[in-house]
Structure 1
Amino acid sequence: MTIDPLPRTADNLLLTGATEGTRVELRAIEKSFGTTRVLHGVDLDIAPGEFVSLLGPSGCGKTTALRVLAGLESADSGTVLLGGTDVSRMPTNKRDIGMVFQSYSLFPHLRIVDNTAFGLRRRGTARRPAEARALDALELVGLRHLSDRYPHQLSGGQQQRVALARALVTEPRVLLLDEPLSALDAKVRVQLRDEIRRLQLRLGITTVFVTHDQEEALAVSDRIAMMDGGRIEQIGTPEDLYLRPRTSSVAAFVGLSSALPGIAQGDVVRVWDMALPIEGASVDGPVNALVRPENIRITAVDEAAVARDTRPGREAHVQESTFLGSYRRSLVRTDDGTLVRVQHGADDRLEYGQRVRITFSPVGVAVRPRD
């Protein structure tokens, strides 16, 4: 599916009204459902115009935090501020936010332009001005030419673009996205993900994006708030979370890692006969070191070479090797039974059972106590 380019002129009213965004703050947010505590004192400060993703596994509290921000759930305690104003007790329709959900939630009996204009009409905007602004919003997402169709005549990706246009047409101060791409196929998901980021930058709107997909979060975010157990484990740039995880749960969730047995002492962990610097909190004693596949080097060896090779490293046998376009990812098993994932060049073809040697790049790793 081809996306029409964004308008380059000031003819589009949504572009002429672009701002620098609104500051969003969550302060000490607590939320329980019955006897289950879902949010434990969540603090989050989002700069005007910033794109922040709430990332984490199912049940970590990210959607609940978004719903508290939207006013769809009330916090047990804590404060929600938009642009410095306390909106904690303000109803959703007074908070001036736009929201896009996983489900498209379009009215099947309304044309696309009428679906898009629905929020404006509810606010009392006359039909003609509302339709004009709806067409501008549809132009932003590349669907103006489909404005007279009905939802069932559009693909899933197109329907989600309509939902995005409907959220933007009222020119909200803040845009909230609750896993809006999870129902789409892979190619459309990537395309729409990039389009959302492009629109967000063009409009300057503060955006909070909930996802459990680490690739989505890494690709579009200015910062990522990694959540686990109702708390924010770490917040930082995508590079911070991937390269400098502060906790083992962040390292395990963001990107692939192999958990390799080692002994930690101070700021160094020794894995087999190789020493690696530790990122984040250290724990002295037996640990699992979380090593990224791209930080492991692999070379093919023969039996004679193994006998006389005294370099640091560990021999292993190839269990599987997967071609992924520009690179390969292989799984190898060491002689003590440890499974290690390795990322290497696409031209380095490995066969099942082949003898290889693995070594580590001297890159910092996260560690966690060994069970």
Structure 2
Amino acid sequence: MTTPAALPATKDNQLLAEAGEGTRVQFQGIEKSYGSNRVLHGVDLDIAPGEFVSLLGPSGCGKTTALRVLAGLENANAGTVLLGGQDVSRVPTNKRDIGMVFQAYSLFPHLSVADNTAFGLRRRGVGRAAAAKKALDALALVGLDGFADRFPHQLSGGQQQRVALARALVTEPRVLLLDEPLSALDAKVRVQLRDEIRRIQLRLGITTVFVTHDQEEALAVSDRIAVMDAGRIDQIDTPEELYLRPATAHVAAFVGLSSIVSGIAAGETVIVWGRSLPMNVPVTGEVEVHLRPENLRFTGEADAATGGVVEESTFLGSIRRTLVKTDTGELVRVQHGAHQHPAFGDRVWLGIERVPVAVRPRG
């Protein structure tokens, strides 16, 4: 894959020169059902102008349906969609001024890269010369200078997705919608294009909604993340807040890696392995506690909260993650420096950082 060139100066690129400050996007009580199956349950969402928000969750949680409602590809059964304060709930897709990029590139095989990019402009009645200039600006924006005369079959998957992104941006939409646009790409290209999308979004200041099931993608690019489950938003917050202070056990389990152990909760603290830890929500009784691997450490027996035996240790470059079966019979992962190399069967002792943990009632 060709490495993209640096973004052109604003004065040389019409799209950058005309970049706006984004449009506010709001969901107010959005409900969506297919027959007796309710997919969205009164979803409320308020996205600031120019903000990059990811809808994150497992398959079937309603994130793509929410995006389709925003795009006008589906009509909500109840609730209101607002763009820039205007109710667009019954406005057709082609009147909402939205750019969309999907997992499938959906390029026309018989059209050149330039003509694919300019297609939306031509459909809007923009003259050939003006459309060609804007298409070249959009291709430059996504790092495809010099590719205008090629055809889709002459491009890699990452390059084809860049063309799809350029096609979405060339009409200068008020809002950009991205529905799993990177999932079909290999890992290295996915990271490259993910970072490029974020860089372009920041330069253009365009309000962006990104649907993904990949937590790393969401954490890397988002201003805020809405974690969805069963048609509802469990929590919407910055990546840092979601990871460090998850509001629910579902968020803790889905965002980041956690081990689940038993604890006894009372008020604002929970006892794990004889140690008192702060909780994210007040609960009383037997609970399941989510422990992050970076909040466990190897220590000496005198300072340990519990002991255990090494089950496996995985090398991950600058770190290792080691699976330990504790003396209580629970399996936990410990994240530590790569220079430590515990072997299968080694006896180890574990300490635990006193940081807030997510819990849920047992049973």
TM-score, structure 1 normalization: 0.96
Which AA in structure 2 matches 1:221?
A: S
Instruction: State how far apart, in whole Å, the 1-side matches of 2:303 and 2:268 are.
Output: 23
User: Aligned residue for 2:313?
Assistant: 321
Please show how residues 102-181 of structure 1 align to structure 2 within 5 Å.
Answer: 102-181=103-182
**1:332 to 2:333 alignment:** no
Deviations 1:4-34 (A, max 9, x none): 1100241110000101100000100000001
Q: Contact between 1:263 and 1:284, CA under 8 Å: does it hold in 2? A: yes
Please show how residues 287-326 of structure 1 align to structure 2 within 5 Å.
Answer: 287-299=287-299, 309-326=301-318
Q: Contact between 2:268 and 2:283, CA under 8 Å: does it hold in 1? A: no
Instruction: State how far apart, in whole Å, the 1-side matches of 2:297 and 2:87 are.
Output: 53
Alpha-carbon deviation of 1:283? 2.0
**DSSP 3-state at the match of 2:202:** helix
**DSSP 3-state at the match of 2:103:** coil
User: Aligned residue for 2:285?
Assistant: 285
Instruction: State how far apart, in whole Å, the 2-side matches of 1:42 and 1:328 are.
Output: 40
Instruction: State how far apart, in whole Å, the 1-side matches of 2:201 and 2:11 are.
Output: 17
Instruction: State how far apart, in whole Å, the 2-side matches of 1:211 and 1:159 are.
Output: 19
**DSSP 3-state at the match of 1:58:** coil
User: Aligned residue for 1:25?
Assistant: 26
Alpha-carbon deviation of 1:310? 4.3
Alpha-carbon deviation of 1:311? 3.4
Which AA in structure 1 matches 2:207?
A: T
User: Aligned residue for 2:354?
Assistant: 362
Q: Contact between 2:304 and 2:349, CA under 8 Å: does it hold in 1? A: no
Alpha-carbon deviation of 1:40? 0.3
Alpha carbon RMSD of aligned pairs, Å? 0.9
User: Aligned residue for 2:212?
Assistant: 211
Instruction: State how far apart, in whole Å, the 2-side matches of 1:136 and 1:193 are.
Output: 20
Which AA in structure 2 matches 1:152?
A: H
**DSSP 3-state at the match of 1:318:** strand
Which AA in structure 1 matches 2:244?
A: L
**DSSP 3-state at the match of 1:144:** coil
**1:341 to 2:333 alignment:** yes
Instruction: State how far apart, in whole Å, the 2-side matches of 1:330 and 1:160 are.
Output: 37
**DSSP 3-state at the match of 2:23:** coil
User: Aligned residue for 1:275?
Assistant: 276
User: Aligned residue for 1:3?
Assistant: 4
Deviations 1:273-309 (A, max 9, x none): 1111101x2321111110100000114x6xxxxxxx4
Alpha-carbon deviation of 1:151? 0.4
Instruction: State how far apart, in whole Å, the 2-side matches of 1:311 and 1:95 are.
Output: 61
Instruction: State how far apart, in whole Å, the 2-side matches of 1:348 and 1:237 are.
Output: 33
Q: Contact between 2:265 and 2:283, CA under 8 Å: does it hold in 1? A: yes
Q: Contact between 1:113 and 1:135, CA under 8 Å: does it hold in 2? A: yes
Q: Contact between 2:28 and 2:42, CA under 8 Å: does it hold in 1? A: yes
**DSSP 3-state at the match of 1:283:** coil
Q: Contact between 2:303 and 2:351, CA under 8 Å: does it hold in 1? A: no
User: Aligned residue for 1:182?
Assistant: 183
Which AA in structure 2 matches 1:110?
A: L
Instruction: State how far apart, in whole Å, the 1-side matches of 2:174 and 2:344 are.
Output: 55
**DSSP 3-state at the match of 1:362:** coil
**DSSP 3-state at the match of 1:219:** helix
Instruction: State how far apart, in whole Å, the 2-side matches of 1:311 and 1:84 are.
Output: 57
Instruction: State how far apart, in whole Å, the 2-side matches of 1:260 and 1:212 are.
Output: 25
User: Aligned residue for 1:304?
Assistant: none
User: Aligned residue for 2:98?
Assistant: 97
**DSSP 3-state at the match of 2:262:** strand
Alpha-carbon deviation of 1:103? 0.5
Instruction: State how far apart, in whole Å, the 2-side matches of 1:103 and 1:133 are.
Output: 23
**DSSP 3-state at the match of 2:38:** strand
Please show how residues 181-260 of structure 1 align to structure 2 within 5 Å.
Answer: 181-260=182-261
Alpha-carbon deviation of 1:262? 0.7
**DSSP 3-state at the match of 1:10:** helix
Instruction: State how far apart, in whole Å, the 2-side matches of 1:108 and 1:246 are.
Output: 47
User: Aligned residue for 1:81?
Assistant: 82
Q: Contact between 1:274 and 1:312, CA under 8 Å: does it hold in 2? A: no
User: Aligned residue for 1:53?
Assistant: 54
Instruction: State how far apart, in whole Å, the 2-side matches of 1:97 and 1:326 are.
Output: 42
**DSSP 3-state at the match of 2:314:** strand
Q: Contact between 1:273 and 1:312, CA under 8 Å: does it hold in 2? A: no
Which AA in structure 1 matches 2:277?
A: L
**DSSP 3-state at the match of 1:145:** coil
Alpha-carbon deviation of 1:350? 1.2
**DSSP 3-state at the match of 2:339:** coil
Q: Contact between 1:60 and 1:229, CA under 8 Å: does it hold in 2? A: yes
Q: Contact between 2:55 and 2:210, CA under 8 Å: does it hold in 1? A: yes
